[in-house]
Amino acid sequence: MDCSEVGNFGPLDVADAWHKGIAEFGQPDPISFPAWAEKYFYLSRESSYGEGAWKAWPFQPAIMACMANDDIEEVDVEKSARIGYTKMFLALLCYNAHHRRRNQAVWQPTDDDRDEFVKTELEPALRDVEVMRDVFPEYLSRSKKNTMRQKILLGSMMHMRGGKAAKNYRRISVDVAALDEIDGFDQNIENEGAPFDLAKKRVEGATFPKVIVGSTPKLKGFSHIEARADAAPCQLVYQIPCPHCGELHPITWGARTARHGMK
């Protein structure tokens, strides 16, 4: 009996299943996160002004390199709006799943925020980034492998949770934990601790633990991201060359009487 006689499966179906099965044991050629995004990542129409292939802005590759560097365990991005942070973060989820097969967890401020992120950002990316079909063939189906709370891929898993309830931080063991828009989280999650502390416990025991926090700061003195950025042992600030002297300077706000900065 040949392969074509086994149920409704033909030789091509069996070969495809065999290749997908052994793919988990393969080791892909190393590629950096910025290079992977440049080669594979795609901006979906649902959440982008311009649908098409990813092209990084000048300041983005350094942020992306920090996000994916295994020597950096914690990355805090204190940002303004509209700098493409969500797209960088989304590309990282795809990179970790496709290239590095790492388990990941993402917390949004609320369950509604989680649902919106999954519907408008994550699911379109899993559909439009073609290489993701290699690790997530169920991207169009509704099953226990493809829900709002989790995506079970070949070799890894993505957990998506809202950040209001302490129970959403339990029973998860991952390599990468991410808190998106952390200034929208409570200061203390149901008296069990700060959201960062609860998320960090989820990567304890990982070979390459990583916690990524990003947010636009809100109320001064009560900002999670401001406090974390101020306490960081290393701070990276994007700088541009002065058109007059050529020296590199960060873009800053200047007081009315100051000679420097934006007015």
Residues 113/184, Cβ–Cβ less than 8 Å? yes
Catalytic residue status for 181: yes
Sequence-distant (≥ 6) Cβ neighbours of residue 86 within 8 angstroms: 47, 121, 180
**What is the Cα–Cα distance from 174 to 14, expressed in whole angstroms?**
32
Q: Determine which one of 78, 121, 123, 181 is catalytic.
A: 181
Q: How far apart are CA 44 and CA 51, in angstroms?
A: 5
CA atoms within 13 A on the CB side of 29: 2
Q: Which residues are catalytic?
A: 181
